[in-house]
Amino acid sequence: MADVVANLVDVYPYRGSAANREYLLLRRRPGVVYSGDWRMVGGKILDSERAWQAAGRELEEETGCKPLVMWAIPSANIFFEWELDTVHVIPAFAAEIDRDPVLNHEHDAFGWYDYEAACQLLCWPEQRRLLGIVHEELDRDIPVSWRVG
C-alpha cells in the first residue's frame, strides 16, 4: 500500500493588482532536484513547525522576502511519486511580496510572469491548478479566515 505524507509546503508569490498582477517563478539550478524546472517556492516542514510557519520560512530562505500578506489556498497539491510509492499532500499558500527576490543556492534565475506565461512554465498540472485558484481568488476579497501569520 502506498504511503501518504504531508511534510512539504508550496508558496505562490505574487505582486501587483488585477490589471498588472505577476507571479514569481524560480528556476532550479543544475545539480538539485527538479534541476532546470521553473517552480514556485517550496520546501520541507520541520518537525517543530506548522505548515504555515514553514511556508513563511521557505519564502524568506528562497527569496529573501517576507510576505506582506500570506494566505492558505483552500486546496492542496496532491501527487503520486511512483518511485517511492508515496502520495504527497502538500499544503499550499499564496504570498504577496513587493520586491525582487535574492535567490539562495537552490535557484539560478527568477522571473515575474503574468498568469498565462506562468502556467506555460510550470510543468506539474497540480501547480498550474493551484496557481489558477490563486489567480481567481485574488480578484475577490480573500477571506480573513484564510490569512495566516
* CATH match of 3-146 with 1.10.10.10: no
Every domain of the chain and the residues it spans: 3-146
- Count other Cβ atoms within 10 Å, centred on residue 3: 10
The CA distance from 126 to 118, in Å, is 13
Cell matching residue 126: 497540480
pLDDT tens profile 25-57: 999 999 998 999 999 999 999 999 999 999 999
Cα–Cα nearest to 131, from 143, 146, 117: 117
Task: Record the pTM.
Answer: 0.95
The CA distance from 1 to 85, in Å, is 8
The CA distance from 35 to 127, in Å, is 16
